[in-house]
Structure 1
């Protein structure tokens, strides 16, 4: 009978087992042959894209703020474009998922202003001369979002005329039916009385509210059990515009906090221009119908 205190079988096995674990861990940490996290996300390209032009410390904040916003807008356009297609194809469950995601992306963009608002007027003044005429209103992705949501304005094509590829993207969004246009066409396909002036029109024109369209939505909202998915669509649109309004408001207050009432670098009136944008209503009848309920 072997004494347990002198049993060396486990002791002799332990180093071998430990060595195997170490070898496995080393193999798992070696990404020379396989795609790594940085490779997949192309982090070298992304993290080398911040090129401050001024000696000011705070320019990095300004660049990262706007670059990350453009990344979120890229995802927003990806989801929004697909959601418009879903509504056009009567695929509302898929549309709801994407529209909910768009609203959440808007929340991210709203909170991003909190970070930029840490920049004080003197800190911004130190980098402003280096911005030349560059301005956020020149963002082609933002313009595609505005157009996809129905705020059409032919003048906003001009800032992209120097870049044919970008102009083509903005032009396509300008000429296509907006999310709200497709929602109204869906109501009409479901047998709800929507005037032809709002289901077959020149999509390049800014949307004009109409009493008959409010009545169409009222039919949905007064019969939610009968039109449950259309009712839900109305509320998804409400959520989206609610989030968009918050983003616009935070934009105005941040700009006023940082630059006051100076003109924008792109030549706009700055705060005065942004305040006008607060009055733009994307889905007007969705809001006005509430008074009638």
Structure 2
């Protein structure tokens, strides 16, 4: 019997089998060994690991999306639409991946969810600071949800900066104004710590864009923003469906109204004038 290399074994370059002097270069860069130690299920429920990993993966996608939107904000402030569009396009791909991340837990039954739900106590997704950065960047500001993070000074201060700064959409509108489009002055000078609400003058601004040439850069901007708005809305509604399937209308953890609260949040429009203008074109 031949105990040597199997005919199915591929030859391996010696450089690939040489021992590393310490951690592998891959782990030094990616920190996979750190990431793979962060899952600590609190029960023996077989579905808890999937719930925990899914939540952690979503936090990483939030981090990337927030990074890209901040990059786009800076580019718009510098009137560099090419760099801004690149960042928005990357964020669109990240949002698509974020939406796909629901799959491992999308079909949890109430019994499966109840197998570990009590273990996470008062923890709730609305407490995610990185998701709150994402919402604030969309213009959905909330002093109350900022105040909830006061117990962690570093997190509160970082989130407070995003709260006090113009949103991504505020910077888009300021950029369009500098490009000669009729963005109303009161919108440009609004209190950016308040939630953004639809303005008829901004609908008119986008009407100028959508009534213009089919291949104008501002039209491409409107469409990538619409893509982002749609993907965010789809993520919110997918969250509603996952919760509805796993726990119905029960009260949420941490004292929220659960499904009813999520449904109200999901109904909030993202970049509202981009949807309203479509009926006018």
* Deviation, structure 1 residue 139: 0.2
Q: Is the 8 A contact 1:107 1:247 kept in 2?
A: no
* Deviation, structure 1 residue 72: 0.9
The correspondence for 2:237, drawn from 245, 249, 253, is 249
The correspondence for 2:270, drawn from 272, 276, 282, is 282
Name the residue aligned to 2:204: 215
1:178-199 deviation line (CA, Å, top 9, x unaligned): 1111111112111222111111
Name the residue aligned to 1:189: 178
Map 1:30-49; keep pairs closer than 5 Å. 30-32=19-21, 35-49=24-38
Map 1:1-293; keep pairs closer than 5 Å. 25=14, 28-32=17-21, 35-224=24-213, 228-293=216-281
Bigger Cα Rg: 1
Q: Is the 8 A contact 1:77 1:144 kept in 2?
A: yes
The structure whose residues are more often helix, as a share, is 1
Q: Is the 8 A contact 1:194 1:212 kept in 2?
A: yes
Q: Is the 8 A contact 2:72 2:88 kept in 1?
A: yes
Change (3 A) 1:261 1:197: same
1:197-254 deviation line (CA, Å, top 9, x unaligned): 11112110111212111111111211236x8222211111101001111111111001
CA RMSD, aligned part only?
A: 1.8
- The two structures have a TM-score, normalised by structure 1, of 0.88
Distance in structure 2 (CA, Å) of the matches to 1:274 and 1:181? 25
SS in 2 for 1:80: helix
Distance in structure 2 (CA, Å) of the matches to 1:109 and 1:266? 24
Q: Is the 8 A contact 2:68 2:88 kept in 1?
A: yes
The answer for unaligned runs of 5 or more in structure 2 is 1-10
Q: Is the 8 A contact 2:51 2:104 kept in 1?
A: no
Distance in structure 1 (CA, Å) of the matches to 2:279 and 2:206? 12
The answer for unaligned runs of 5 or more in structure 1 is 1-21
* Deviation, structure 1 residue 33: 5.5
Distance in structure 2 (CA, Å) of the matches to 1:79 and 1:211? 28
User: Aligned residue pairs: how many?
Assistant: 271
